[in-house]
Amino acid sequence: MRSLLQGMNRRLIQLNTQYHAITTRLFLEERQAMPQEQRVLDQRNRLLARRNQVRDSQLEFLLQALAPLEQVDAPTTTADLLTNTHNDAMHRAHVRSLALNAMARSTCLAEVFRHAEVQLDGLQESAAPCERILKLQRLMQRYRTLAARTVGSDK
């Protein structure tokens, strides 16, 4: 399934070829763009601005929708578990388990996760800020961790 963003990225690739040919020619010939050339330049600039707007909007939506996953711990190691006292760990695990199970069963969160999986490539192709892409990937990994814990606790 191709997203709107991926379609815009493909169209930009097509226009970029023309854009670079025109700008190179204008530079070498030391002249201003003729009306037909200017239309191509303007079309590319409008599409680029619109693509960035769509990209930023989609990324912001996904980050906000997946923000509750910030509460999900990253997978712990055996050494991490040994540093906690047994009672403290059991109490925190029980309280957290109740909240996380409810979150994992949320069809809304699952739907946003699936949407994020579809959108991720397009967001990366569209030069989204790296730190925001990395945050989205961390949240997606936390969803996977949460879903795996929930499936494991149902057994």
**Where does the pLDDT of residue 140 fall: very low under 50, low under 70, confident under 90, or very high at 90 and above?**
very high
Q: Is the pTM of this model over 0.85?
A: no
Q: What distance in Å separates the CA atoms of residue 52 and residue 57, rounded to the nearest whole number?
A: 8
Give rounded-to-5 percent helix, strand, coil for the chain.
85, 0, 15
First to last CA, the chain: 33
State the angle between helix axes of 35-65 and 4-29 in degrees (0 to 180), rounded to the nearest 10. Answer: 140
Give the chain's mean pLDDT.
85
Tally DSSP H helices, then E strands, for the chain. Answer: 6, 0
Residue with tokens 């930023």: 56
What does the pLDDT read at residue 138? 96
Mean pLDDT of 58-72: 90
What is the tally of structural domains in the chain?
1
List, in sequence order, the alpha helices (H) in 30-85: 35-65, 78-83
Any idea what DSSP says for residue 96? H
Domain limits for position 15: 4-153
Q: What distance in Å separates the CA atoms of residue 113 and residue 104, rounded to the nearest whole number?
A: 11
Q: What distance in Å separates the CA atoms of residue 35 and residue 38, rounded to the nearest whole number?
A: 5
pLDDT of 94 above 70: no
Q: Is the dihedral of CA 16, 134, 107, 58 positive or negative?
A: negative
**Where does the pLDDT of residue 47 fall: very low under 50, low under 70, confident under 90, or very high at 90 and above?**
very high
42 versus 79: which is more confidently predicted? 42
pLDDT of 101 above 80: no
pLDDT of 151 above 70: no
pLDDT of 109 above 70: yes
